[in-house]
Structure 1
Amino acid sequence: MDLPTAWNLDDKSTYLSVDSSGLRVNYEGLGKSQKEIGVIRANNPIPPYCKLFYFEVDIIDEGKNKIIGIGFCEKEVDLNRMPGWDDGSWGYHGDDGNFYCCSGSGNPYGPLFSTGDTIGCCLNFKNNTVFYTKNGINLGIAFRNLKGSLYPCVGLRSQGGSIEVNFGSREFKFAGNAEKL
């Protein structure tokens, strides 16, 4: 089973474009309504046998309203709904700092994030928890009882929004703190 290495160009909403590297995503909509959400999944699910899986998302441009969600989801999840809003989907959102767990109701979790920030997501299959990082700092456990076949995903609804993912092809901001996993 292969690890996630890029975004899946055939598994995204119409509001998103992806550059030739398969790592940078741009939001192409106006972001004025809930109907203009764009989500993309990675090219492969995270194999649970890897025990720990970590990826980072650089916020290149927060866009007009800062609505960006970073998380993970199952294959069947609707790509026109933000990460965390539906069953089989979880996400940390930059515009409100909330963590969403299979519901449109978020719970306070971490700081807001915006242009220039790097948000990391660690899925720990050893103890079935998930934590996020912001600019290399661990924000604490966001979710417990992790299970299922999960794909990294990102959602945007922010005019001009742009992100770039690092699935491990370059050093992580959190790398210096890896012993804290």
Structure 2
Amino acid sequence: PSSEDYYYYEITILSNKNIDETIIAIGFATKNHSTDRLPGCDTHSVGFHSDEGRTFHNEGYTGSKYAEKWGEVNDIIGCGYCPNTGQVFFTMNGKYLGIAYTGLFHTTWYPTIGSNGVCSLKVNFGQEEFKYKEANDISIAGMISSYKVND
């Protein structure tokens, strides 16, 4: 994405014992998103799913091929949203995967993670360095630290 402001977070897979059956999804959703469905499979949500590397937006089960399958232990998947352009993008192990969707203008998007099975994840909102280096410059945690240092 360009140097404009965007929101970004990452998940790290800590365990995923049943990788062939467990789908992990990362994305964004509005407050009306159903917690019974994975991100992207319900209205007002967007998600990147581990099982086939597909992205979903307000849809059920088709999705669009976006990247390779993921979900191995130590995989780091990131999700970003540019409010000025309505663009959503994802990263995999520090690599930018391109814009997944455009024109997604909602008043408030919330980071959303889901799984249909047992797994363990670590979520990073900027309290640690991101694997996707370009996002470290815009980290909210970094801005707070800078503010405290200069205060």
Which residue is equivalent to 1:94? 50
Q: Larger % of helix: which?
A: 2
Uncovered stretches (5+) of structure 1, i.e. residues with no partner: 1-49
The root-mean-square deviation of aligned C-alpha atoms, in Å, is 1.8
Q: Larger % of strand: which?
A: 1
2:22 to 58, 66, 69: 66
1:111 to 49, 68, 93: 68
1:78 to 24, 34, 58: 34
Runs of 4+ in 1 over 3 A off after TM superposition: none
Whether the aligned pair in 2 keeps the contact of 1:99 and 1:106 (CA below 8 Å) is: yes
Shift, 1:178, TM fit: 4.3
Q: Secondary structure of 1:154's partner?
A: strand
Equivalent residue letter for 1:53: Y
Q: Does 1:138 align with 2:96?
A: yes
Equivalent residue letter for 1:67: I
Distance 1:178 1:169, change over 3 A: closer
In the alignment of these two chains, the number of paired residues is 129
Which residue is equivalent to 1:18? none
Deviations along 1:3-35, one digit per CA (max 9) or x if unpaired, are xxxxxxxxxxxxxxxxxxxxxxxxxxxxxxxxx
Uncovered stretches (5+) of structure 2, i.e. residues with no partner: 139-151
CA distance in 1, matches of 2:16, 2:78: 16
Q: TM-score, normalised by structure 1?
A: 0.67
Shift, 1:76, TM fit: 0.9
Q: Does 1:126 align with 2:80?
A: no
Report the identity percentage: 36
